[in-house]
């Protein structure tokens, strides 16, 4: 018997990985990224603020700022994660970000990710703001 402590989450983590791999193998041939995006729920603003905002860190960043930072990171990566960019824009709108703040965030990212990445992210953000591209900007209450 080993004296090393056992990680209580190791089995759960392994099971979750196996479940995810099984689901991805089954879903991948039948679903596109846009179809998967449509299935992904819009998180209510209150829940976003609770988990991404000041609930656990009252002196920290609010959910809107965290989502704008996430959008900047996705843009710098070259906006290759199209569903994630659109979902992040919709979530940011739901917690009070304005289209101007979203545009400024993406524009600033061009300093690090370049103009092509900025242009792609701007187009994806416009789709999300206009309610195109897999989901709705209104939080799913359409």
Give the CATH number for residue 46: 1.20.1290.10
Picking from 76, 123, 129, 59, the residue whose alpha carbon sits closest to that of residue 98 is: 129
Q: In terms of residue numbers, what domain contains 28? A: 7-32
Joined together, the tokens standing for residue 64 give 């809107």
What integer pLDDT is reported at residue 17 of this predicted model?
Answer: 83
Each residue's pLDDT tens digit, 43-56? 777 777 777 766 77
Q: How many domains does the chain have?
A: 2
Joined together, the tokens standing for residue 126 give 């416009």
Are both 19 and 74 inside the same structural domain? Answer: no
Are both 113 and 90 inside the same structural domain? Answer: yes
Q: Which residue has the tokens 């304005």?
A: 98
Are both 27 and 44 inside the same structural domain? Answer: no
What integer pLDDT is reported at residue 90 of this predicted model?
Answer: 93
Each residue's pLDDT tens digit, 13-42? 788 888 878 877 776 666 666 666 666 667
What average pLDDT score do residues 61-81 get?
Answer: 90
Are both 121 and 89 inside the same structural domain? Answer: yes
The answer to the question of residue 142 being in a domain is no
Picking from 64, 72, 68, 84, the residue whose alpha carbon sits closest to that of residue 110 is: 72
Cβ distance 49 to 58 under 8 Å? no
pTM for the predicted model, two decimal places: 0.65
Are both 26 and 52 inside the same structural domain? Answer: no
Are both 53 and 115 inside the same structural domain? Answer: yes
What integer pLDDT is reported at residue 57 of this predicted model?
Answer: 73
**The pLDDT of residue 138 is above 60:** no
Are both 15 and 51 inside the same structural domain? Answer: no
- Angle, helices 99-113 vs 82-94, to 10°: value is 140
Are both 25 and 46 inside the same structural domain? Answer: no
Cβ distance 16 to 23 under 8 Å? no
The answer to the question of residue 28 being in a domain is yes
- Angle, helices 99-113 vs 63-76, to 10°: value is 40
Are both 27 and 48 inside the same structural domain? Answer: no
Are both 18 and 50 inside the same structural domain? Answer: no
């Amino acid at each position: 018997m080993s004296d090393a402590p056992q990680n209580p989450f190791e089995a759960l983590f392994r099971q979750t990985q196996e479940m995810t791999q099984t689901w991805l193998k089954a879903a991948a041939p039948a679903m596109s990224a846009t179809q998967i995006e449509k299935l992904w729920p819009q998180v209510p603003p209150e829940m976003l603020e609770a988990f991404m905002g000041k609930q656990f860190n009252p002196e920290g960043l609010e959910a809107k700022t965290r989502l704008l930072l996430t959008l900047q990171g996705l843009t710098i990566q070259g906006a290759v994660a199209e569903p994630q960019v659109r979902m992040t824009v919709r979530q940011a709108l739901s917690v009070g970000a304005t289209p101007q703040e979203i545009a400024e965030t993406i524009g600033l990212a061009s300093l690090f990710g370049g103009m092509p990445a900025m242009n792609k992210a701007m187009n994806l953000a416009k789709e999300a703001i206009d309610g195109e591209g897999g989901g709705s900007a209104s939080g799913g209450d359409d």
